[in-house]
Structure 1
Amino acid sequence: MSAKIGVFAIGLEAYWPQFAGMKEQLMAHHQQLLGKFSPRDIVSVGMVDNPARACEAGRRFQAEDVDIVFCHLATYASSESLLPVVRALGNVTLVLLNVQSVPALDLESTQTIDDWLGKGCSCAGLPEMTAVLRRFEHPFAVISGYLDGDAVLDEKIAQWCAAADACRRLKSGNIGILGRPYPGMMDLNVDETQIFRTFGSYVKHLNWEDIAANIAHGFHQDQLEQASRQVKAVFRLPEDLDEQHLASMIEVYLATRKLVDEHQLIALSNHFEVQPSGYMHQIISASNPVFSMLTQQGIACPVEADIKTAIALTLMKSLAGSATLTELYSMDFNQDLCIVGHSGAGDPDIANEKSLLKMSPVFHGKPGSGFLTQFTPAIGPVTLASVTQGADGHYILVLAEGELVEGKTLQLGDTNALFRFRNGLRTFVDDWAACGPTHHCAMGRGHHAQAFHKLGQLLRIPVHEV
């Protein structure tokens, strides 16, 4: 789900009668800037140049329920044209775009005041705007740049929009929990009220029996055939795979997908403690590939019913396009690397190749048996993100960027990889642990720390980067 993004230009009404054509010139620059947001869902209100128009703009943004607002400082403007917008926004972050039309004024051709005001005067009013925003205690950020060919400007705008997308995703649905968090893992405990306050997501307590009921209801043949094609698109199937096992897994997938749709879930954390039998054996046996397919579709499905990591996975998937649950597995001091990984479901998008479905007689540390899904994460840059809490109960994001490297990994049926950290193994592990993250975290392809910092500002939670 894409964010709804508010955009407006700000200027000084007194200039228009003084300098013919200036407003039109500035609006042409603004239209060019709007092109940088395409094809996103934007709410554009044009030029705001007096308090009355600012009030109108604020009401429009409020009515449209925007997730973030960008203010283009088209020329000098007084802050009285900004504050009515800000007052209407509540806690929605405002990004001031201090963007000139040119990288630098051509001083030889800048012969009149309107030449200067119309092309290169965006920064004149910037301190005035930030001064009043601080007094208003309103969340804001500043991006400086120029219109044409400024890759830094384009990247920063894209990061803010991506962060707003991630926030909208969290608010768009519910986090389901099947079972309860793994007993004794006290870092996984959550306050559901605080989750809703911080992230806008409800936690819905669901039952494994809900999936069983969906299986019992049955499915049309075309649904079964379509799901079979989906399974084969994601996994490599062994030649000796029992067709009944495959058919059973497809039923579980359709039943779980139906549960997701019925409850408008963005995540489904899960844990099962009793030795499964009957219908529960069918469900638990198929859970790894089923939850992996849902994870690929943007429904985070962390094992051990870890709701905090469900949030981290949801944010990572939105920003990185991939997000698999992981933890620190083992330290290799000889190579200055750490093996990271986890059992259970993973995200197929973390890998460049399909995972081979295999049957296992045991799920380590948990009851049951069934399919394993060991993905091979792609070599290259990655980001880790953990959602954790401080002593006051407020949420914190802990981040790290690094690189997955070539080398031998564990072949135990778990997704795992070799992680090289920027500051070395010893320093990283000590510093990461000192931040108090949960023992699970989300891993996604690419470096996304800058977008996560912006996300932290939108959510108004601190971000610690290791």
Structure 2
Amino acid sequence: MRLKETKKARIGVYTMGLKHYWGQFPGLRERMIEYGEFISKKVKNMNAEVFFYGLVDCEEEGKKAGEYFNGNNVDLILAHAGTYVTSASVLPVHQRCKALTIILNLQPTAKINYEKTTTGEWLAHCGACPVPELANAFHRSGIQHKIVNGLLGLDYTPEISLTKEDTGNRPEAIKAWKQIEEWVLAASVKSGLSNARFGFLGNTYSGMLDMYSDFTMFQAQTGAHLEVLEMCDLNRMLETVTEDEVKEKRKEIEEFFLISEDVAADPLAQKPTEEQLNWSAKVAVAQEKLVEEFNLDALTYYYHGAPDGAYEKLQGGFIVGHSLLTAKGIPCAGEGDLKTCLVMKICDIVNKGGSFCEIVVTDYEDGTILLGHDGPFHLAIANGKPILRGMGLYHGKQGTGVSVEAKVKTGDITTLGCTQTIDGNLKFIITEAESTDGTIMTIGNTQTPVRFKKDPDSYMDEWFGEAPTHHFAMSVGHNGSLFEKIAMVLNIPSVILDK
């Protein structure tokens, strides 16, 4: 159950054509509108808000359409090339509204009826004709755009048509609509982030220079708000937790996790005590209250505190609650890594998971790299129930508590990292790979064996050459093309590795 719903993408749609045609070819104008309405309906079924302007067929309509899309604050424009149109008619739309534009060259039929086709019929199928002209005008005007080519994919044939237009099952339609769906998902990330509130609790792990983030830069490049929180905010929540709330949270924990009964190889990672479990449950209640009070959509955190201090004990109970929050759509990134919290949130918005990871160790015999962390885990993409282990010591950190041992489902995965370049800009680093069901250590950490397309050393040569942040998010599925589109919608540079 998600604690908060992500704000839907707002998609502008219009169909283009030439005004002079309407009087010359009866029915053509209505046919273009019908195609545009079909596109709008399909996009609306992708859980998006759709704003269909109608036809842009002259310069004046182009100006009105741009103002309409601005007035509705659209995140993305789908510009349907229905038939020929002058670029001068369309350019004003995008000079007024700066949302990223996807030109849709979607032919209604796979093959025209050569023997019976009239000029009016041909014009209903010549949407590709203006696309080179539009691309030239957009390029020379500095208007960022992409093009989707393929079939319209109707599930019927309009009465006016002289050929078969039921093309929904053809591969050219399926491929085109997969791309459109990815663009709509990418727009949902933009919408989700621009309305999101990220919490930053505590500080960044001292000395991890790759993770330090400029909060102004973060808001400027993502549109998200950053709320700086204090440990006393969380402690205030802790003081309100009741015994009944702790009992309910214990039930939730026992439903989500397996409580370790075995003796692990590491003497530091054993069966958690009742005291540790109850403390983790109490802290988890407080963490959820903190998220609700500050209306958070994501949280990054780290706090070491004074040895044996109250806040050190409080942070010792973080991992279980933050894993539960991550599973409920509130991604939590440890060690104060705001950039990785960002990509975890992106993965979550598009329902691909997003677990907090770094390099653990390389298995040269198996040809895999073990990826994971001692912090939160996205339970929705776990390979079986994660195991809770009582930690006698958090390595490299102060305090003790309960940690999560788990791995991501076997199959296709994509890692999404976010780094910051010398000029202060964010950059996404994307890699498609495969998670395996290999052996992992019993040390209370999340660990997933991952096989890349190249051998481990060749992949690391390429990866480290991008000056990455050492953390990243692991998502399920091959999402490279989707993450590229998200980067473009956010105007953040990206690179795909290990192609």
Equivalent of residue 57 in structure 1, options 51, 65, 70: 65
Equivalent of residue 151 in structure 2, options 143, 146, 150: 146
Amino acid at match of 2:119: I
1:397 maps to 428
Matched, 1:187 2:192: no
Unaligned runs of 5+ in 1: none
Following the alignment from structure 1 to structure 2, what is the Cα–Cα distance between the partners of residues 109 and 251? 75
Cα contact 1:67–1:168 (8 A) shared by 2: yes
Which secondary structure does the structure 1 equivalent of 2:204 belong to? coil
1:174 maps to 197
Write out per-residue CA displacement over residues 368-421 of structure 1, whole angstroms, 9 at most, x where no aligned residue: 111111122111010011111221111111111100112211221100011100
Matched, 1:164 2:187: yes
Which secondary structure does the structure 1 equivalent of 2:449 belong to? strand
Root mean square deviation, CA, Å: 1.9
TM-score normalised to the size of structure 2?
A: 0.88
Matched, 1:421 2:452: yes
2:227 maps to 204
1:268 maps to 299
Amino acid at match of 1:193: T
Cα contact 1:341–1:415 (8 A) shared by 2: yes
Cα contact 1:192–1:202 (8 A) shared by 2: no
Following the alignment from structure 1 to structure 2, what is the Cα–Cα distance between the partners of residues 391 and 282? 38
Cα contact 1:248–1:282 (8 A) shared by 2: no
Alignment of 1:376-455 (within 5 A): 376-455=407-486
1:102 maps to 109
Matched, 1:3 2:25: no
How far apart are residue 261 of structure 1 and its match?
A: 2.4
Which secondary structure does the structure 1 equivalent of 2:487 belong to? helix
Following the alignment from structure 1 to structure 2, what is the Cα–Cα distance between the partners of residues 352 and 338? 17
Which secondary structure does the structure 2 equivalent of 1:203 belong to? strand
Equivalent of residue 44 in structure 1, options 33, 49, 52: 52
Matched, 1:317 2:340: no
Following the alignment from structure 1 to structure 2, what is the Cα–Cα distance between the partners of residues 288 and 254? 12
Matched, 1:74 2:105: no
Cα contact 1:321–1:349 (8 A) shared by 2: no
Alignment of 1:224-243 (within 5 A): 227-237=249-259
Alignment of 1:13-52 (within 5 A): 13-39=19-45, 40-52=48-60
Distance 1:151 1:270, change over 3 A: same
How far apart are residue 263 of structure 1 and its match?
A: 2.2
**Percent identity, aligned pairs only?**
28
Cα contact 2:369–2:456 (8 A) shared by 1: yes
Cα contact 1:94–1:139 (8 A) shared by 2: yes
2:159 maps to none
Distance 1:101 1:287, change over 3 A: same
Write out per-residue CA displacement over residues 72-107 of structure 1, whole angstroms, 9 at most, x where no aligned residue: 1111111222122112212x1000001111122221
Following the alignment from structure 1 to structure 2, what is the Cα–Cα distance between the partners of residues 219 and 108? 79
Which secondary structure does the structure 2 equivalent of 1:36 belong to? helix
Aligned residues: 462
TM-score normalised to the size of structure 1?
A: 0.94
Following the alignment from structure 2 to structure 1, what is the Cα–Cα distance between the partners of residues 356 and 234? 23
Name whichever structure is richer in helix by fraction: 1
Residue range with higher mean Cα deviation, 289-298 or 234-243: 234-243
Amino acid at match of 1:130: A
Residue range with higher mean Cα deviation, 223-232 or 169-178: 223-232
Distance 1:247 1:273, change over 3 A: closer
Cα contact 2:32–2:82 (8 A) shared by 1: yes
Matched, 1:84 2:92: yes
How far apart are residue 319 of structure 1 and its match?
A: 2.8
Cα contact 1:54–1:82 (8 A) shared by 2: yes
Equivalent of residue 359 in structure 1, options 351, 373, 390: 390
Distance 1:146 1:266, change over 3 A: same
Following the alignment from structure 2 to structure 1, what is the Cα–Cα distance between the partners of residues 417 and 220? 18
Following the alignment from structure 1 to structure 2, what is the Cα–Cα distance between the partners of residues 230 and 163? 33
How far apart are residue 69 of structure 1 and its match?
A: 0.8
Which secondary structure does the structure 1 equivalent of 2:177 belong to? helix
Amino acid at match of 1:376: K
Distance 1:64 1:276, change over 3 A: farther
Following the alignment from structure 1 to structure 2, what is the Cα–Cα distance between the partners of residues 249 and 170? 30
Which secondary structure does the structure 2 equivalent of 1:46 belong to? strand
How far apart are residue 244 of structure 1 and its match?
A: 5.3
Following the alignment from structure 2 to structure 1, what is the Cα–Cα distance between the partners of residues 253 and 466? 39
Write out per-residue CA displacement over residues 289-338 of structure 1, whole angstroms, 9 at most, x where no aligned residue: 10001111222211110111111111122234301011122122222211
Cα contact 2:15–2:54 (8 A) shared by 1: yes
Following the alignment from structure 1 to structure 2, what is the Cα–Cα distance between the partners of residues 453 and 160? 10
Distance 1:209 1:373, change over 3 A: same
Which secondary structure does the structure 2 equivalent of 1:429 belong to? helix
Equivalent of residue 374 in structure 1, options 387, 398, 405: 405
1:123 maps to 128
Cα contact 1:275–1:368 (8 A) shared by 2: no
Distance 1:353 1:291, change over 3 A: same
Distance 1:60 1:230, change over 3 A: farther
1:284 maps to 315
How far apart are residue 250 of structure 1 and its match?
A: 3.1
Write out per-residue CA displacement over residues 408-463 of structure 1, whole angstroms, 9 at most, x where no aligned residue: 11221100011100122121010000011111111111110001111111111221
